[in-house]
A and B are shown apart, each in its own frame.
Chain A
């Protein structure tokens, strides 16, 4: 446990002290290996570990919190952002009040249960790879050497924050770490320090602070009602107030998961360097949202609040997939699809049956793998080929066959059998259908699941249309040189997704599902036939007898302003409704 938290911190100190590229490679690689091994050994053990924080530690936490909030306030004043100033001030006041009435003692502040162990796997396995990748990525970034080291050190530090947050049992400790992830977002988004980055950083800051405020309110209600700030005690107790607390906490999850009215901060975050987008805004940090809902799910169960949350999540899934169709920046498209899939995970988690919770976890793992892969590949495109939006990607397969191969693999692993996301969706339809009779509201979830998946297919393959269009191979294809710093993380991620997919099928114990992999086998076998194709004659594409080559434009599906207003208004109302239903029940 301590390794998971302390090792990244130590490693980050070393990266700062020794700003040499080789050393960085060495450090990050060894951190990756150790953390993954430790996370695995944790996962395979069954014991539940608990820690009590000593008195001095608690004091440190309070101090850190106050300093953090003061820093936010200072940033708000420095960049004249009224939202940030207001929200920081509110948080400071609330925090002071909550801390003054918070009960001391009680159960352990840190509890490592099965869910946390699962999260360790995602955070360390995927996060570690991203850190390794960032070393090579940073080499081409036009900033000073110290700033590069700072960046890598920051990512490493972030790993330990994430490791800690998924086992926090005290709401106040959770609040501190939540705010620290917000801080990490803010700092890393504005890393490039131009006007756009600043503005987007501040946006991320104030939106996430709303989450902080509702967590504090939740803590307040919990203390008033039950005299505790511990998750486990709270979730075991009964009464209407529990649901209110849970509703408030779930609202913070919606904010962190960039559910629809708040998706702006996550899209803005795409101006940050790509490892940041991969780490914070798709693979690990935003996973706090489904994680939190999963933690709260035992109480949600068949309540009205649970249904409302799952409906909200499901609608986010559809709406975000739809909105993504109008975008042309590659990373923004990925960002939107992250928002969409996070919505789906929250929806599944909030249903609260054992099966659906497992599925939410499965989706989390596979989504982290695939999205990290896609983001890292996007980073390669950005650095090696200087393309950012999909219009510039026309025929890229000709210039960069390997990278495009990875991107395609990413898309396929997000949509097709036998990969995890597909399996998750498939099993989700089955399991929700069996619940339909008792809870007809879930019909909306099924519908959104189905429509949203179709829209995502449209989205991904629209993008691949730009990547793929290659001329007739009368012209020789070029060889692509992909540096090891880029290719090794990509290969690792692709390998993980294949291995976990295979593992998942085996765990299911249903050999029948393995049949589904058969068509894929066929597709894998096909490339071996490419050599045989030499004997067929080549021909130019048909262009009505013309000899010039033409290109078809990409299709965008832009919702009208009115539709946009309706979508945002609707989701705003849903967000408020969560609190409202919480109060009522």
Chain B
């Protein structure tokens, strides 16, 4: 509904996920949430729960162990949703680029809307990014957004399709 759309920007709730970062950017995120930078004045709440969040704040270059969780968490966030990649290593791999046990950035798995540079990125940048994310949030529809890769097919798809569709899907797969 048109009437409600402007309010998306006014209460962006975030989910923060660490996909193998060095914790530098995580500390900056916490600093941004703390009293000095006070993200709550924009209505931001750190929910810690994908089902009630709008903005997915990811740090880290995606280690092999964290890929599936990343995708699973992404699929559990109801649309409309925005992904913010915080820090250089999250956007491109950064200092970890080319290592044997990491992927270079999260956009190989999930679509990213806002990239924040910096190793570590600063609270000011994070606030900027969240404001930008709020705007993008407003322009999005409620259509299903899928990750680029699915791990553990059925459950993950099950997240996004209604039961009937899913039953059909499973059926088709079997044929």
Q: Which residues of A contact B (CB under 8 A)?
A: 472-474, 534-540, 542, 544-547
Specify which chain A residues have a CB less than 8 angstroms from the CB of B161 in the assembled complex: 537
Specify which chain A residues have a CB less than 8 angstroms from the CB of B80 in the assembled complex: none
Specify which chain A residues have a CB less than 8 angstroms from the CB of B152 in the assembled complex: 547
Cβ distance A474 to chain B, nearest Cβ, rounded Å = 5
Cβ distance A478 to chain B, nearest Cβ, rounded Å = 16
How far, in angstroms, from A281 to B124 measured CA to CA in the complex?
71
Cβ distance A526 to chain B, nearest Cβ, rounded Å = 19
How far, in angstroms, from A534 to B72 measured CA to CA in the complex?
23
**Listed residue (A474, A535, A538, A542) with the most chain B CB atoms within 10 angstroms of its CB:** A474
A–B Cβ pairs within 8 angstroms, 12 of them: A473-B163, A474-B166, A535-B162, A536-B162, A538-B162, A538-B166, A540-B76, A540-B158, A542-B49, A545-B17, A545-B73, A546-B69
Which of A472, A537, A538, A545 is close to B68, meaning CB atoms less than 8 Å apart? A545
Specify which chain A residues have a CB less than 8 angstroms from the CB of B73 in the assembled complex: 545
Whether the Cβ atoms of B158 and A542 lie closer than 8 Å is no
Whether the Cβ atoms of A539 and B163 lie closer than 8 Å is no
Specify which chain B residues have a CB less than 8 angstroms from the CB of A536 in the assembled complex: 162
Whether the Cβ atoms of B69 and A537 lie closer than 8 Å is no
Which of A474, A535, A539 is close to B76, meaning CB atoms less than 8 Å apart? A539
Whether the Cβ atoms of B76 and A542 lie closer than 8 Å is yes
How far, in angstroms, from A389 to B145 measured CA to CA in the complex?
45
Whether the Cβ atoms of B155 and A540 lie closer than 8 Å is yes
Which of A472, A539, A546 is close to B51, meaning CB atoms less than 8 Å apart? A539
A-B pair number, CB within 8 angstroms: 46
How far, in angstroms, from A499 to B158 measured CA to CA in the complex?
44
19 additional A-B pairs beyond A537-B160, A547-B156, beta carbons within 8 Å, are A473-B163, A474-B163, A534-B162, A535-B162, A536-B162, A537-B159, A537-B161, A538-B158, A538-B159, A539-B76, A539-B159, A540-B155, A542-B51, A542-B76, A545-B17, A545-B69, A545-B72, A546-B72, A547-B151
**Listed residue (A535, A537, A540, A546) with the most chain B CB atoms within 10 angstroms of its CB:** A537
Whether the Cβ atoms of A534 and B164 lie closer than 8 Å is yes
Q: Which A-chain residue is minimally distant from B17 (CB atoms)?
A: A545
Specify which chain A residues have a CB less than 8 angstroms from the CB of B155 in the assembled complex: 540, 547
Specify which chain A residues have a CB less than 8 angstroms from the CB of B93 in the assembled complex: none
Chain A interface main SS type: loop
- A547-B164 contact given A474-B158, A540-B159, CB 8 Å threshold: no
Whether the Cβ atoms of B163 and A534 lie closer than 8 Å is yes
Which of A538, A542, A545, A547 is close to B163, meaning CB atoms less than 8 Å apart? A538
Specify which chain B residues have a CB less than 8 angstroms from the CB of A538 in the assembled complex: 158-159, 162-163, 166
Of all A-B residue pairs in the complex, the 6 with the closest CB atoms, nearest first, are A545-B69, A545-B72, A545-B73, A474-B158, A547-B152, A537-B162
Specify which chain B residues have a CB less than 8 angstroms from the CB of A547 in the assembled complex: 68, 72, 151-152, 155-156
Cβ distance A472 to chain B, nearest Cβ, rounded Å = 8
Which of B50, B70, B160 is close to A542, meaning CB atoms less than 8 Å apart? B50
Q: Mark B151-175, 1 if CB is under 8 A from A, else 0.
A: 1100110111111101000000000
Whether the Cβ atoms of A544 and B69 lie closer than 8 Å is yes
How far, in angstroms, from A474 to B161 measured CA to CA in the complex?
10
Q: Which A-chain residue is minimally distant from B51 (CB atoms)?
A: A542
Cβ distance B110 to chain A, nearest Cβ, rounded Å = 13
Q: Which B-chain residue is minimally distant from A549 (CB atoms)?
A: B155
Cβ distance A543 to chain B, nearest Cβ, rounded Å = 9
Specify which chain A residues have a CB less than 8 angstroms from the CB of B72 in the assembled complex: 545-547
How far, in angstroms, from A514 to B68 measured CA to CA in the complex?
54
Cβ distance B48 to chain A, nearest Cβ, rounded Å = 10
How far, in angstroms, from A537 to B155 measured CA to CA in the complex?
13
Specify which chain B residues have a CB less than 8 angstroms from the CB of A545 in the assembled complex: 17, 68-70, 72-73
**Listed residue (A534, A545, A547) with the most chain B CB atoms within 10 angstroms of its CB:** A545
Specify which chain A residues have a CB less than 8 angstroms from the CB of B70 in the assembled complex: 545
Specify which chain B residues have a CB less than 8 angstroms from the CB of A539 in the assembled complex: 51, 76, 158-159
Q: Which A-chain residue is minimally distant from B159 (CB atoms)?
A: A539
Interface hits, B70-93 → A, CB 8 Å: 70, 72-73, 76
Specify which chain A residues have a CB less than 8 angstroms from the CB of B156 in the assembled complex: 547
Cβ distance B60 to chain A, nearest Cβ, rounded Å = 13
Specify which chain B residues have a CB less than 8 angstroms from the CB of A473 in the assembled complex: 163
Cβ distance A535 to chain B, nearest Cβ, rounded Å = 7
Interface hits, B41-60 → A, CB 8 Å: 49-51
Cβ distance A501 to chain B, nearest Cβ, rounded Å = 37
How far, in angstroms, from A176 to B17 measured CA to CA in the complex?
74
How far, in angstroms, from A545 to B71 measured CA to CA in the complex?
8
Specify which chain B residues have a CB less than 8 angstroms from the CB of A542 in the assembled complex: 49-51, 76
Specify which chain A residues have a CB less than 8 angstroms from the CB of B158 in the assembled complex: 472, 474, 538-540
Cβ distance B55 to chain A, nearest Cβ, rounded Å = 17
Specify which chain A residues have a CB less than 8 angstroms from the CB of B162 in the assembled complex: 534-538
How far, in angstroms, from A538 to B72 measured CA to CA in the complex?
14
Specify which chain B residues have a CB less than 8 angstroms from the CB of A544 in the assembled complex: 69
Cβ distance B158 to chain A, nearest Cβ, rounded Å = 5
Specify which chain B residues have a CB less than 8 angstroms from the CB of A546 in the assembled complex: 69, 72
How far, in angstroms, from A536 to B159 measured CA to CA in the complex?
11
**Listed residue (B72, B159, B161, B163) with the most chain A CB atoms within 10 angstroms of its CB:** B163
How far, in angstroms, from A473 to B159 measured CA to CA in the complex?
11
Interface hits, B128-168 → A, CB 8 Å: 151-152, 155-156, 158-164, 166
